[in-house]
Amino acid sequence: MPACSLSFAILVALPVDRQTATATMSAPKANRDTINQALVEVAIITVSILLAFALERWWDAIVDSRSRNELVVSLIQEFEATEAELQNALEMHQKRQVSVSALSALDAATIVNVDPAKISEHWYWAVTPDVNYPPTGALLAAINANRLTLLGSPGLRSSLAGWPNRLEDLRQTERVLADYTSQTFWPSVSADVVIPLNRERIGRETDAVILLPATKNHLNLLSLGSAVAIDQIMKLQQEVIEILRQLRDELEG
């Protein structure tokens, strides 16, 4: 090859070598930029996910707090009504016991001096006390929907979960008393004679029925049943007071 041609080839090759060297030197820098950009994107995505979870937890907490407050308010209203119903039931059973005692104390000498209307009143309270069952709708709905988990106090959740069963014990006592009255007492002493629906029909023929030993035995059994109910009611009343206290604390907390 002529010397001039070799020189020309070298001159042509030199720029190419410089470009290759420059590209080789700039490659690590480009890789670092790409990695840095990827890290920034990963960080942004991670922060966005964490922020989304935080917002979701924040919103869920607000929803749970509202649901909890609504549940507590409904339970407070229901147990306040329960408190009133239990007091009414207690008074009914206490009147029954007073009337049973008054009727049981009568004998052939004293019964003739008692106003027939008063005897009718005693019969009413002794035999047919008007007892209403406390409400449980809101509580049962909460139990069935597993909403008691919204409450913070484990003790309160436990008390509320067992409340329907404890109330059922009182209802069972009431049913036994009602069944005894309708299926045993009335057939035994004849309802048409014992307590005419129209008080003006009360007459001296009732006296003999009251004085029957069997009648007084029936009345005493009803009084005993009422004593059991009174004991149950008073225990439930104390429990209602404690449940209401815990519900109000839950609402304030």
Do residues 230 and 88 lie in contact, with contact meaning Cβ atoms separated by under 8 Å? Answer: no
Do residues 233 and 171 lie in contact, with contact meaning Cβ atoms separated by under 8 Å? Answer: no
**In sequence order, what are the residues at sequence separation of 6 or more whose Cβ sits closer than 8 angstroms to the Cβ of residue 22?**
none
Do residues 212 and 157 lie in contact, with contact meaning Cβ atoms separated by under 8 Å? Answer: no
pLDDT by position in tens, the chain (length 253): 444 444 444 444 444 444 444 545 455 666 666 777 777 777 788 887 877 776 667 655 555 557 889 999 999 999 999 999 999 999 999 999 998 888 888 887 888 788 878 888 888 888 776 667 787 888 999 999 999 998 888 999 999 999 999 999 999 998 888 888 888 877 776 654 444 434 444 455 566 667 777 788 888 888 899 999 999 999 999 999 999 999 999 988 7
Do residues 89 and 131 lie in contact, with contact meaning Cβ atoms separated by under 8 Å? Answer: yes
Say what the pLDDT of residue 63 is.
54
> Rounded to two decimals, what is the model's pTM?
0.69
> Which 3 state secondary structure label does DSSP give 142?
helix
Say what the pLDDT of residue 59 is.
56
Say what the pLDDT of residue 162 is.
93
**In sequence order, what are the residues at sequence separation of 6 or more whose Cβ sits closer than 8 angstroms to the Cβ of residue 82?**
134, 135, 136, 240
Q: How many CB atoms lie within 10 A of CB 195?
A: 22
Tokens standing for 131? 């007892």
Burial classification of residue 185, based on how many CB atoms lie within 10 Å of its CB (0-12 exposed, 13-18 middle, 19 or more buried): buried
Say what the pLDDT of residue 4 is.
46
Calpha distance 149→160 (Å, rounded) = 11
Say what the pLDDT of residue 158 is.
93
3-class secondary structure for 2-67?
CHHHHHHHHHHHHHHHHHHHHHHHHHHHHHHHHHHHHHHHHHHHHHHHHHHHHHHHHHHHHHHHHH
The length of the chain in residues reads: 253
Calpha distance 200→116 (Å, rounded) = 9
Radius of gyration of the chain (CA): 43
> Helices marked H in the chain — which ranges?
3-104, 116-127, 137-144, 154-180, 186-189, 191-194, 205-211, 213-252
